[in-house]
Amino acid sequence: MILILAALASLSAGAAQTGLSIDRDREVLFQVSTIDALLLAVYDGVLPVGELKEKGDFGIGTFDKLAGEMILLDGVCYQVKEDGVAYVVSDDLTTPFASVTFFDHDETVLIEEAANLTEFVGILEASLPSKNAFYAVRIDGTFPYVRTRSVPAQERPYPLLADAVSDQTVFEFVNASGTIVGFWTPQFAAGINVPGSHLHFITDDRTAGGHILDLRVDGVEVALDVTASILMALPTAGDFFDLDLTGDLSADLEKVEK
Ligand SMILES: [Zn+2]
């Protein structure tokens, strides 16, 4: 209930002014392209990281040619390449797919029991104030186990994402301190983003991480930022323009995420 009231308050505050207020901008989830376009091999970067950072200080995505996993955290953008190392990226590197927002800690979910990724997501979902909202998810802590992956840059003709991930490198972290960065997306946004949770990881020293395939938590505090608005930037040329996006790609998505 607190969450709903906060969202309404921020909307009415913004509406009372001409144009977008800074506060209202902070409650926008900004997204580049769609997950289904990425599944269908639209990998050419369309937005520079420098411009992405004007839309948020927190988020995840990938880079031009599908080169690695993006973690945007506290305003710094990292690229976890196929060697598992997190590199700070320059503002001119581009992204074909990313989701970012300005992270404001609205809600806390305490998960006291030990859990794997599936169990963790189940407990988190049961604790969400609404399943019809977009949440940015941040967890700072020490994790008994995290398994991540990264994918190398692809070459034309681009393979579908479900095939490109066969090139993925997998990394394991044991008793790792770090931050989980990601989003929980409502089911109604299928095709636009990943329904349910999509989480990336970066170590405390910001040197390694990737897209989370599995993990163990043992008592964590999950910080949630509910975003009341979503803004999408779609490519206006290139592979995206002639793409058939009418199909149901949920089976492909399942393969890619797990
Ligand atoms: Zn990912």
Q: Write out pLDDT tens, residues 139-166.
A: 999 999 999 999 999 999 999 999 999 9
Question: Model confidence at 255, in pLDDT bands (50, 70, 90)?
Answer: confident
Return d(Cα 239, Cα 254) in angstroms, integer: 23
Distance 142 CA to ligand 1 centre (A): 20
Distance 68 CA to ligand 1 centre (A): 9
Distance 1 CA to ligand 1 centre (A): 30
* Beta pairing, strands 28-32 & 229-233: parallel
Contacts of residue 85, Cβ cutoff 8 Å, sequence gap at least 6 = 207, 208
Of 6-15, 110-119, 214-223, the range with the lowest mean pLDDT is: 6-15
Q: What are phi and psi of 73, to 5 degrees?
A: -140, 125
Q: Write out pLDDT tens, residues 173-210.
A: 999 999 999 999 999 999 999 999 999 999 999 999 99
Distance 119 CA to ligand 1 centre (A): 19
Distance 106 CA to ligand 1 centre (A): 23
Q: Write out pLDDT tens, residues 79-103.
A: 999 999 999 999 999 999 999 999 9
Whether 31 shows a pLDDT value over 90: the answer reads yes
What's the pLDDT at 104? Answer: 96
Going along the chain from its start, the domains and CATH numbers come out as 2-257 (3.30.1330.80)
Distance 21 CA to ligand 1 centre (A): 30
Instruction: Read off the pLDDT of each residue in 16-29 and give the average, rounded to a whole number.
Output: 62
Question: Model confidence at 137, in pLDDT bands (50, 70, 90)?
Answer: very high
What's the pLDDT at 109? Answer: 96
State the chain's mean pLDDT as an integer: 91
> How much is the pTM?
0.90
What's the pLDDT at 222? Answer: 98
DSSP 243-256: ----S--HHHHHHH
What's the pLDDT at 59? Answer: 98
Instruction: Read off the pLDDT of each residue in 111-115 and give the average, rounded to a whole number.
Output: 94
In the chain, pLDDT over 90 holds for what percent of residues? 86
Distance 190 CA to ligand 1 centre (A): 15
Contacts of residue 120, Cβ cutoff 8 Å, sequence gap at least 6 = 111, 215, 217, 220
Q: Write out pLDDT tens, residues 38-64.
A: 999 999 999 999 999 999 999 999 999
What's the pLDDT at 80? Answer: 98
Return d(Cα 225, Cα 133) in angstroms, integer: 10
Distance 58 CA to ligand 1 centre (A): 14
What's the pLDDT at 23? Answer: 56
Distance 69 CA to ligand 1 centre (A): 6
What's the pLDDT at 138? Answer: 98
Distance 236 CA to ligand 1 centre (A): 24
